[in-house]
Structure 1
Amino acid sequence: MELGGGSVVPVPLSVPVLLRLAAMATELEALTAEVESGGLDHLDDGGLLAFWQEFEGFRNRMPVVEHRVVRDAGSRDLAGRYCQPSVARLMAQTLRIPAGEAARRARAAEQLGGGVSMLGEPQAPARPALAAAQRSGQVGPEQVEVVLRGLAKVDVRGFDPVAIAAGEELLTGYAATFGPKDLQVCVDRFVDTLDPDGSRPDEELQADRRFFELRAQRDGSWRGEFRLTGTAGAKLAAVLGPLARPRVSLVTTAGGRRVEEPDPRPYPQRMHDALEEICDRLLRAGSATEWGGVPATVIVTIDEESLRSRTGGGTTTGGGRLSTAAVLGLAGQAEVVPAVLDDAGAVLTLGRRRRIASRDQTLALVARDRGCSFPGCDRPPEWCERHHIRAWIDGGLTDLDNLTLLCAYHHHHFAARGWTCRLNPDRLPEWVPPRHVDRHQKPIIDRRILAAGLREEPHAAAA
């Protein structure tokens, strides 16, 4: 399989779901041929309209299949397998659809596709009434999107879940009656009724309702809820807004053409990534605008054997547990201070070794890599981290020939996705894809690096 358009790994046609798909394709070809040969001429006006409506109902039911595809892709971490940050990004790349459309489909699948519990038991969709209406063909993707966006505005802490469920039933009925434009009016009225203070906020009411909660989950992720005052929200939006703007990436098609690929991340994911980048900046030593510094101190205790064998984990000062992989991820941009303790926990020796690239080394990396060196990534150097090609813990040196710039996403995910980096004979970083991406594992050099030298690289393909 190739991202951005290419061959797909063949699957045996004896698989029942593929047989069904092939049969549906055959029937669709037969229907198309019948219509094109004048089959509609045998219908009167009422019959033609009935056929049209029935066909639209068939079209409306199609996303039900995709909802399960999206769910299974998420549970298998298919996006991660192809080193994509999200299922929506994978969808945009492989199906060659606009980023906004991919985000809409992913959002609909999350709300209407149901799920599976930790015990493997099926779970009902988050929006059961809307899901049932789409399954029956009464509502289309556009109506689904209008209703989901409206419910998302009020399905938060502080609102009655019973009222939200009743609102879903009401709006689903409207969706089966009205087109997207008129439906939007109905949704807006429902939101205004449920949240009358939303359009004319009262400062005292805002202050009383303000809260911010953040909770660690068992899988290592974090969940939270918040309601900000107008001033706090405006400040946060001003900080995150510029960083959350959609990015346009340059990708290479199967034919070798360079085309612009819109940012497939939906707005909530872009805001999340912007917040993380702000945190990265604030954690660096010095001011938040100095990107070449060292992060603030994060103290984790871990024994040397666990660190070297990459097993077990460490403990933070707050008592939380981090896997060794997570500790190494934190150490990727931090000074490492080895300490030798006696059996009672007293410090016997304390050393300090250079782990972070110097400012001059970082500037040299910027001049060479021009930003994230991962093929096709357009992240500028200001938002990149310094990566040891041979891990420092494995004896890798903090030298230019062992360093490259990577954005936070690729720095934290490339190894798990099977990619490796090395320097070619011209001392430029090149990336070797895993076999499931390219069975020949042809090395790739990012085009920005090649363009900086005003030459084509004979040793590797460009991306």
Structure 2
Amino acid sequence: MATFTDVAALIPTLCGQLVDGGDADCARASMMRMTDADVVKVLEETAFLARQLEQIQTAAAGVIAVRSTRDRGHSGLSASRGHRSAASLIQDVTGSTKADANRVVRVGEALLDDALLHDEADAAGDISQGGQSCDGLPVATPWHQPLRDALRDSRVTSAQFDAIKRGLGDPPQIGADAVPASGADMAADALAQAEEVTRAAWSQAAEHLVGEAAQRTVEELWQAARTVRDLLDPEGAEARFLARFENRSFRTFRGPDGQKRASIVLEDEGDLFLETMMAAALRPRRGGPRFVDSDEKEQAASLVDDPRTNDQLAYDLIMDVMRAGALADAESVFGARQPGVRLVQVVDADGRGAPVAHTEDHLVSMPGVVAEQHICDSGFVPVTVDACGNPLDVGREQRLFTPKQRIALAIRDGGCRWRGCDRPASYGEAHHIDEWDRDQGRTDIDRGILLCRYHHMTLHHGGWRITRQGQSDFVLHHTSGETFAMRPRTALRYAWGGIDPPPKRFRPAA
């Protein structure tokens, strides 16, 4: 078994600074003497090494899962060691959580090539030919092959792999009745072609999301993948929406200490309304935008100074809303930024709304009929955009961005555009990339960008600046010479049709 020193030798920046037999305390002492740049480099090197080890661990988990299938009964690997499942065995060996063990099993199974699975089954006597399906035909390349390649190349972690694959889900099955019935052979060919086109669309979506993995959190990747799936499969989007609605529930129970507790399963609209209600009330505590109005500033300051925790404030807020109901004084509870779910729906030149809309905050997909329902209830704000979501007609030449311009920025950016930030649009502040005084900058939408309060402050005080050539991506620059492209979110590129080439999905002939 490798010693701590052996492992440390694999980290170039740390290698040579530890004596034989050195331990974690020795490593910490060495790093305390390092420069900031070297400490960050050690972290980067260990993260790279961890990803390599993770691949080996994931591969082992996949093989264990294959050898522990239910049909092998008590002779299966996990059962033979006294465990009900592969995840249980992995959790016992690694000391991980149940959720992490289940994730590594899912990823491990998805990583195994179908040919290897058949070879394993062949070795177990389950099938007669390895690398082929039961009918002797070659096994097709799976749609998630780009995810496999990215994990093997260390471009994504297993958590990112799992988030993208679960969010996209498997491509929908195309029934024989979805193709023209013009002869059995032709129908079979059309069905095979339709399945191939659909699988290619999912594979392309996986590639696009892999490209965003370095800049997005795991949670963001899952949400983006789910939204992209709904945009590719609008027919199934409504069915999934209704299924989540049917799963809604609320129950109360007493814990071991006798105190009443509650458990709630939220459907999509309830989830969004609750989140926006909490955000509107607690935004100053969560790092929301700075306020210009003196009354808002005073209210925000009092909330920041409130001795209650965020969880206690959230509880008191829910109880206030429940008590007051329709008579609640919304302005005194939420201030000027009252809660509400804003939906974004693409409308074509003929006025037809897209079958799938998305929320301004968090980019959660919703069936188009939900957007139409909201239009009947609260109206809409029209914003004209190009194929990349760049607003075209919302006004210019103001010192400050107008409310309508801010809506347009939220629609285009979907939240803070800073690399790796997941703050939603409602937490954004509009930044002029051309300074008003220094550069004689104009308040044009194409020269503005949404940043959360923290990253807006970081930009102005940390030696950063943002540039943009025409309608291309914004670019973040640091005085050290580092540059980062501030790419639009993948879900928005799908919504605006800004993917080149555009993804295709088979649709039944009329």
TM-score (normalised: structure 1): 0.35
Q: What is the TM-score with the length of structure 2 in the denominator? A: 0.32
Could you say which structure has the higher strand fraction? 1
Q: Which has the higher helix share?
A: 2
